[in-house]
Amino acid sequence: MFTLTIDPALEKGRNSTSEREGLNLLRPAAYFSVSDRHDKAAIRGTRARQEDHAMWQEELPDDDKDDRLTIARLRRSTGRGDRYVTSAVSAHRRLRQLPKLKRLQERHYHLDLARLKLIDSVLNKIDGSNDDHIAIVDDEITAYLTPTRANQDLPTPGQLDKKLNAIIQPFDTSEPEQCDPLPDRKDRFTVGYDGDRSHVSLETDAKTGKEIEERVRAYASSHNVSQTEALSALLSGEEESKSTTDSPHAYDTPDSPTPETRNSHRTPSTTDDLNSPSATMQDRARRRSLRLGRHAAPDRFRRGAVSLSRRLLRGRV
């Protein structure tokens, strides 16, 4: 009978390696933030996902049994509806079809039921009986959902959905969805208020929009004003009022009168004074007050309208 004696140093090294491997399984160096063992909320969430995972895996019906009986029982036990229970059973059955992902899940418990259902719904687009395709999907999705550093962010459902669809794209056998065409857009005009600010919006056809743009640009260029001021002038009727104020007169004849309505006349110097920026602003304010007065709008509406007009003239809207 022989007795095998192991060098204590080797025995210690072997035990240390085993301990490190065990600790790495229990406390992996790379993990998602939802599995952070230093975060109380994450710890509780992981425990909840672990219990949920164990319950569904244990309650999965055998392939040769009727799912309806199990679903009816689980509906009573969980208080959930048929749709929720059916999709949960399908998701955990799919997980058994992906052994690598299942092992990863049972190490980190980072995937909640919603993400498992998402994986199942996307994989319904491919032929589940093709073992080669399923193996490829299992490899790639497991690699994608394996953490590579400590406290890594878990992919969102949207990111997961996008990645899954990219993985299965070569194997996708589903029919493309036939989407109904969008209804025709209708012309719409809106005015909104936000505190001391306001915005004016017009939605119309492309041809009309182009005509409005060209008219605003032309007015802004010819009057040397901003496009905001040009739009304000065109919308408020300032263009017509300005054209009557900018009356022509014979500069080649000194003090020649400028024709006006109601048989009145004014000299060229008076016309120039009226066309000055200060006179124009005063004339605009006077016409606004007259228009607002005729409609007898409440004080808060008058203040809002005057404030909006001033901001339009200053190019702040």
- The DSSP line for 129-197 is T-HHHHHHHHHHHHHHTS--STTBPPPPHHHHHHHHHHHHGGG--SPPP-PPPPPPP--EEEEEEETTE
- In the predicted model, what is the mean pLDDT of residues 210-230? 88
Measure the CA–CA gap between 207 and 43, rounded to whole angstroms. 60
68 and 126 part of one domain: yes
My answer on whether 27 and 152 are in the same domain is yes
Largest CA distance in the chain: 140
Domain co-membership, 163 together with 223: no
Cα separation, 281 vs 289, in Å, equals 12
* Mean pLDDT of the chain, nearest integer: 76
Separation between Cα atoms, residue 317 and residue 312, nearest integer Å: 6
Q: Same domain for 75 and 24?
A: yes
Query: Minimum mean pLDDT among 77-81, 169-173, 305-309: which range?
Result: 305-309
CA–CA distances in Å: residue 189 to residues 182, 192, 210: 20, 10, 16
Kindly report whether the global pTM for this prediction surpasses the value 0.85. no
**Predicted pLDDT at 273:** 53
> Which residue, among 158, 178, 82, 174, has the nearest Cα to 123 in the 3D structure?
174
Q: Domain boundary residue among 107, 137, 171?
A: 171
pLDDT at 250 exceeding the cut of 50: no
What distances in angstroms separate CA 110 from CA 59, 116, 242, 277, one per listed residue? 20, 10, 70, 69
What's the number of CA atoms in the CB half-sphere (13 Å) around residue 73?
10
61-72 pLDDT per residue, tens: 887 677 888 899
Query: Please, which pLDDT band fits residue 175 given cuts at 50, 70 and 90?
Result: low
Instruction: Give the number of domains in the chain.
Output: 2
Same domain, 143 and 39: yes
- Give the pLDDT of residue 200: 78
Is 81 or 289 the better-scoring residue by pLDDT? 81
For residue 306, what pLDDT is reported? 55
Residue 258 lies in a domain: yes
Q: Are residues 161 and 223 in the same domain?
A: no
> What per-residue confidence (pLDDT) applies to 1?
46
Query: Which of 172-186, 242-256, 276-290 is most confident?
Result: 172-186
- The more confidently predicted of residues 114 and 265 is 114
Q: Same domain, yes or no, for 211 and 119?
A: no
What percentage of the chain reaches a pLDDT higher than 90? 40
- How many CA atoms are closer than 13 Å to the CA of 67, on its beta-carbon side? 11
Per the CB < 8 A criterion, the answer to whether 265 and 257 are in contact is yes
pLDDT one-digit tens code per residue, 122-131:
999 999 889 9
Nearest 5 degrees, angle CA 208-CA 213-CA 219? 125
| 136 vs 267 pLDDT, higher one | 136
pLDDT of residue 227: 86
Could you tell me how far CA 249 lies from the centroid of its own chain?
Answer: 59
Do residues 111 and 49 lie in contact, with contact meaning Cβ atoms separated by under 8 Å?
yes
Same domain flag for 164 and 226 = no
Does one domain contain both 165 and 209? no
The domain containing residue 132 runs over which residues? 15-171
> Binning pLDDT at 50, 70 and 90, where does residue 258 land?
very low
Half-sphere exposure of 92 toward its Cβ, with a 13 Å CA cutoff? 22
295 pLDDT band, cuts 50/70/90, is very low
Are 118 and 165 found together in one domain? Answer: yes
Q: Which of 107, 142, 171 is the last residue of a domain?
A: 171
Q: Rounded to whole angstroms, how far apart are CA atoms 202 and 187? A: 8
